[in-house]
Amino acid sequence: MSFTELNVNPRWVMSVGQGTVGVRKWLLDPCEDQIAFFKRVCKSHWPGNRNMVPINVQAGDFDDQMELKKGSGPTDGGMGALPLCSQTLVVAQYQFLQIETCWPAMFPKPMHIKGTVMSMDVKGSGQFILVSPNAFRAGGGTVAFKPSDSCRFVIPITEYHVSCDRLTRAQVHQIMSPAANEWDLREGTVNSDEFMGIPPEGLNFDSWNAQPSLVPDPVDPVRWRLTAVLRKRQIWGALRAGQPLNGPDGPGPYGWNHDYTNVDGKWGWYRTRVLGGLNGTTKVDRYTKVRFEDLFCGNATSATNDDCGG
């Protein structure tokens, strides 16, 4: 492809409102495929900075007198004026918008499709747990509350709003296909694998949303931003000094399938199961465990996900 990049002054500008903004210009030979060049520009990034991506691409005749020349040029013998060929001027404006590296170091970054962008918002909240007064005792071993009292304590809950932006329609379909545990079926499930460094059953898929997004693409500018709201409930069944508390699953951490209750006269964090199955007599976990590793990739075992990584 034959093109020439022109020198521009200023090349880039930094501002409080927009961050870093840059401009690049090229001259494209008239015989070249303009759409192919535009697609190439729209998928590019600023040299040395992958976070600066195109936000505006303009194209037109390099010679601003071409329209006049077309009207007064030679004719083809009755078919009107023949168009004159001119180089095409392409102007692209870049801005710091795509944040590829801004991710908390303490959380392993989820796998996501190449060319998409991950981001996360964190929000703290809590959950009240109501238990029997017999679970609360004073220092001398006596009951601290009367049986008629309502006893409760707060379990910290952390909300992670994890988003994946710049997804194409095909990629959204891939992520939400039935083979990939489509998102509307994930609601109320918990992670069966370690996800973002959080042990199994510690994350609950609370809700999600999909919002349209746009990129400067001459063929398909529509993109999507998927956000999953994951709520962490992580309870350690051991004191800081390493003293174990009651519970059949060891010292923890306990997640969404555990409750503080009494079993055989011993209070502690125990796995809670409910009756389910076809006959309603099978004991199953209260929250179904689902693979979270491929949340933003679709089926990670599929051959179509070779470009999916952390």
- Whether 183 maps to a domain, the answer reads yes
Sequence length of the chain is: 310
How far apart, in whole angstroms, are the C-alpha atoms of residue 269 and residue 267?
A: 7
What pLDDT does residue 289 have? Answer: 93
What pLDDT does residue 244 have? Answer: 46
- Whether 136 maps to a domain, the answer reads yes
Same domain, 111 and 58: no
Query: Could you tell me which residues are beta bridge partners of residue 177?
Result: none
Of the candidates 101, 116, 102, 98, the one whose C-alpha atom is nearest the C-alpha of residue 175 is: 116
Write the pLDDT tens digit of every residue in 8-30: 999 999 988 888 999 999 999 88
Same domain, 50 and 118: no
Same domain, 91 and 154: no
Report the Cα 98 to chain-centroid distance in Å. 13
Same domain, 241 and 266: yes
Residue 95 phi, psi (nearest 5): -145, 150
Same domain, 31 and 90: yes
- Whether 72 maps to a domain, the answer reads no
Same domain, 43 and 118: no
- At residue 148, the 3 state secondary structure works out as coil
Same domain, 157 and 273: yes
Q: How many CB atoms lie within 10 A of CB 30?
A: 14
What pLDDT does residue 183 have? Answer: 86
Same domain, 193 and 253: yes
Same domain, 91 and 122: no
Report the Cα 299 to chain-centroid distance in Å. 16
- At residue 231, the 3 state secondary structure works out as strand
Same domain, 272 and 296: yes
How far apart, in whole angstroms, are the C-alpha atoms of residue 176 and residue 116?
A: 16
Q: E-strand spans in 84-202?
A: 88-96, 112-113, 117-131, 151-167, 190-191
- Whether 37 maps to a domain, the answer reads yes
Total number of domains constituting the chain? 2
What pLDDT does residue 252 have? Answer: 64
Query: Which residues make Cβ contacts (< 8 Å) with residue 270, sequence separation at least 6?
Result: 247, 248, 258, 259, 260, 261, 263
- Whether 74 maps to a domain, the answer reads no
Of the candidates 265, 236, 239, 275, the one whose C-alpha atom is nearest the C-alpha of residue 253 is: 236
Same domain, 281 and 148: yes
Of the candidates 137, 175, 140, 158, the one whose C-alpha atom is nearest the C-alpha of residue 300 is: 175
Of the candidates 100, 40, 213, the one whose C-alpha atom is nearest the C-alpha of residue 24 is: 40
Same domain, 221 and 306: yes
- At residue 246, the 3 state secondary structure works out as coil
| Pair of tokens at residue 303 | 């051959």
> Which residues constitute the domain of residue 103?
99-310
What is the mean pLDDT of each successive set of 10 residues along the chain, which is 310 residues long? 87 87 92 87 90 90 60 55 73 88 86 90 89 70 65 89 93 82 86 92 94 86 94 73 48 82 80 80 88 82 59
- Whether 78 maps to a domain, the answer reads no
